[in-house]
Amino acid sequence: MASQKQVGKVEHASDADFQQKVLDAEGPVLVDFYADWCGPCRLISLVLEELARELPTARIVKVDVDHSPSLAIKYGVESIPALMVFRDGKMVNYHVGLADKAQLRSMLGL
């Protein structure tokens, strides 16, 4: 059963809850693979927070590659920020590097 999303909030996922928060979620899920030490990741996090507030139908989830390296490996993350959109448990869109709000909306199909 899919969990309730936190409306207007960016969520965090790890190996333990990625299945529930991303793969089992209803609707599009934008996943940001990031690290705290990554400058571009810090920049895009502000855009992701705005997007979460503006798009209540989308779920935005961050995965710290330093704390969940197996997820980064599983999804082929070689550079960060790596942004992926999942629908019905499948990755349907992928972008590496900075992206603006319009690009992220487009990735989500919203």
With b for 16 or more beta-carbon neighbours within 10 A and e for fewer, the 20-55 pattern comes to: ebbeebebbbbbbbbeeebeebeebbebbeebbeeb
Catalytic residues: 38, 41
